Amino acid sequence: MDAPARPVLSVRDLNVTFGSRFGPVRAVRDVGFDIAPGEVFAIIGESGSGKSSLAMALMGLLPRSAKIAGTMQLAGMDLMSLSAAQRRRICGERVALISQDALASLNPCTTVGYQIAEMLMVHRGVGRRAAMEEAVRLLALTGVPLPHERVNHYPHQFSGGMRQRALIAMSLALQPDLVIADEPTTALDATIKAQILQLLIRLRAELGMSVLIITHDMGVVARMADRMLVMYAGQEVETGTVEDVFAHPAHPYTTALLEAVPRLDAVDRKLHAIPGAPPSPSALPPGCPFHPRCPIAIPRCAAEVPRPVPVGASLAACLRAPHDG
């Protein structure tokens, strides 16, 4: 039997803490996961659950005041042993970040084509003419119509969906091992959103890259991902294949998230809102952070912080798991 391929990304016990006027904000607490080559891995959680802090820690893009602890390996290379500047350089070449705001990520004063070409000129020493030709090819690959003309347009001449395509084209220029897409479709309408997700799925299949998709949308996870990690208040609550987690959620928070999603195949089904609100990361309740909102909490849940343990085929951080709902 073949040995399993080395993960593209391996994260263990990752902690990100920001300083604030109200004391330390533990935005990410003891999170760990692996992403295999060619895999689409989703991180899902409510606003403020620490998803972007995690992505920024990987890319070396957190403010200097943020404290990072734990281990992060990119294709076996220990990122924590590098300075933030080294990490930014290596991640800039091997990991691409697609953010939710394409307009803010593109330079308004330079043509879209030149911005893509510049990646190749700066990082790969490619000549200007060859780099512009590659920019046209990348715009075509990402479904931008008339790429020969579009390559000379400025970002404001692109629609929102086209800008997101241009950003994806730019992110592919250096053939990254991993693409991190942080809420890549939040600012787009439903049709364009579907097209961008379709594009990412197609590119993954054609180029064999791994994708880390960050979202608060269970629909995106169901359509795109192979495996998923559910975050709550900076903590990992459940990890597993999308199939297993959707069919047999092991953590009551995951169950609650799934019950809050409308389903076309069950229009009569009642939607359940999760009572209460997520805690502030600077004032977490003791024990399990979800226990004040959990329908099956017992007194022990307020005293012990649960660690992820195998439940069925997944990992779940719940003292009550396995539970029967």
Ligand X SMILES: Nc1ncnc2c1ncn2[C@@H]1O[C@H](COP(=O)(O)OP(=O)(O)OP(=O)(O)O)[C@@H](O)[C@H]1O
Binding site for ligand X (CB under 6 A): 18, 20, 25, 27, 45, 47-53, 63, 216, 281
- Least distance CB 282 / ligand X (angstroms): 7
Q: Does 210 bind Mg ion (CB under 5 A)?
A: no
Taking the C-alpha atoms of residue 7 and residue 124, their distance in angstroms, rounded to an integer, is 25
Query: With respect to ligand X, which residue has the nearer C-beta, 27 or 180?
Result: 27
Strand partners of residue 15: 69
The residue (of 97 and 139) whose beta carbon lies closer to ligand X is: 97
Residues in a beta bridge with 69 = 15
Answer with the entry of ligand X, Mg ion, none that 18 interacts with (C-beta below 5 to 8 A by kind): ligand X
Partner touching 281 among Mg ion, ligand X, none, CB below 5 to 8 Å by kind = ligand X
Answer for the pair 232, 45: CB distance below 8 angstroms, yes or no: yes
Chosen from Mg ion, ligand X, none, partner binding at 171 (C-beta under 5 to 8 Å by type): none
Q: Does 142 bind Mg ion (CB under 5 A)?
A: no
Buried b vs exposed e over 258-268: b needs ≥16 C-beta within 10 Å? bbeeeeeeeee
**Rounded-to-10 torsion of CA 126, 163, 191, 145:** -60
Task: Provide, rounded to whole angstroms, the least separation between the CB of residue 226 and ligand X.
Answer: 21
Q: What share of the chain is helix, strand, coil (3-state, %, to 5)?
A: 40, 20, 40
* Binding residue (CB under 5 A) for Mg ion from 10, 52, 235, 255: 52
Count of Cβ atoms closer than 10 Å to residue 233 Cβ: 23
Site membership for Mg ion, residue 115 (CB under 5 A)? no
- Smallest separation, CB 17 to Mg ion (Å): 17
CB 231 within 8 A of CB 253: no
Contacted by 63, from Mg ion, ligand X, none: CB < 5 to 8 Å by type: ligand X
Amino acid identity, residue 324?
A: D
| CB nearer to ligand X: pick between 158 and 232 | 232
Stretch that binds Mg ion, among 47-55, 247-255, 263-271, 310-318 (CB under 5 A): 47-55
20 binds, among ligand X, Mg ion, none (CB under 5 to 8 A by kind): ligand X
Q: Which does 159 bind (CB under 5 to 8 A by kind): ligand X, Mg ion, none?
A: none
Q: Distance between CA atoms of 149 and 170, rounded to whole angstroms?
A: 17
Residues 106 and 155 sit within 8 Å (Cβ to Cβ): yes
Closer to Mg ion by CB, 33 or 158: give it.
33
* Shorter beta-carbon distance to ligand X: residue 25 or 181: 25
DSSP state of 4: P
Does 73 bind Mg ion (CB under 5 A)? Our answer is no
Q: Which is nearer to ligand X, 20 or 107 (CB)?
A: 20
Q: Which of 251, 325, 323 has its CA nearest to residue 289?
A: 251
Sign of CA dihedral 281, 283, 288, 294: negative
Q: Where does this chain bind Mg ion (CB under 5 A)?
A: 52
